[in-house]
Amino acid sequence: MKIVSYNLNGIRSALQKGLAAYLAQENADIICFQELKAQEGQFDEAVFDQLGYTCLWHPAEKKGYSGVAILSKLPVDHVAYGCEHPLFHTEGRLLSALIGGITVVSAYFPSGTTGEVRQELKYEFLDYMETYTAQALAHNPLVAVCGDFNIANHDIDIHNPVSNKHSSGFLPEERAWLSKYFQTGMVDSFRRLNPSQQAYSWWSFRANARANNKGWRIDYIAVSNQLANGVQSAFIRPEAAHSDHCPIGMEVMA
Render pLDDT for 20-45 as a digit per residue (tens, 0 to 9). 999 999 999 999 999 999 999 999 99
| Average confidence (pLDDT) over 77-92 | 96
What pLDDT, on a 0 to 100 scale, did the predictor assign at position 161? 97
* Alpha-carbon span 175 to 190, nearest angstrom: 17
CA nearest neighbour of 98 among 184, 185, 30 = 30
Coarse DSSP helix, strand, coil percentages of the chain, rounded to the nearest 5 percent: 30, 30, 45
What φ, ψ does residue 125 adopt, rounded to 5°? -65, -40
What pLDDT, on a 0 to 100 scale, did the predictor assign at position 21? 98
What pLDDT, on a 0 to 100 scale, did the predictor assign at position 95? 98
Q: Is the pLDDT of residue 126 over 80?
A: yes
- Contact (Cβ atoms closer than 8 angstroms) between residue 148 and residue 34: yes
Q: How confident is the model at residue 162 (pLDDT cuts 50, 70, 90)?
A: very high
Q: How confident is the model at residue 14 (pLDDT cuts 50, 70, 90)?
A: very high
- Contact (Cβ atoms closer than 8 angstroms) between residue 95 and residue 105: yes
- The CATH number of the domain covering residues in 2-252: 3.60.10.10
Q: How confident is the model at residue 195 (pLDDT cuts 50, 70, 90)?
A: very high
| Average confidence (pLDDT) over 103-118 | 93
Is the pTM higher than 0.85?
Answer: yes
Q: What is the dihedral of CA 22, 23, 24, 25, to 10 degrees?
A: 50
What pLDDT, on a 0 to 100 scale, did the predictor assign at position 114? 80
What pLDDT, on a 0 to 100 scale, did the predictor assign at position 187? 98
Beta pairing, strands 54-58 & 68-72:
antiparallel
Catalytic-labelled residue, pool 29, 148, 188, 219:
148
What pLDDT, on a 0 to 100 scale, did the predictor assign at position 254? 73
DSSP state letters, 168-187: TTS-HHHHHHHHHHTTTTEE
What pLDDT, on a 0 to 100 scale, did the predictor assign at position 193? 97
Q: Give the full edge-to-edge strand order of the sheet including 219-224.
A: 76-81, 94-99, 102-108, 143-148, 219-224, 186-188
Q: What is the dihedral of CA 204, 124, 3, 76, to 10 degrees?
A: -140
Active site residue 148: yes
| Average confidence (pLDDT) over 102-116 | 93
What pLDDT, on a 0 to 100 scale, did the predictor assign at position 165? 94
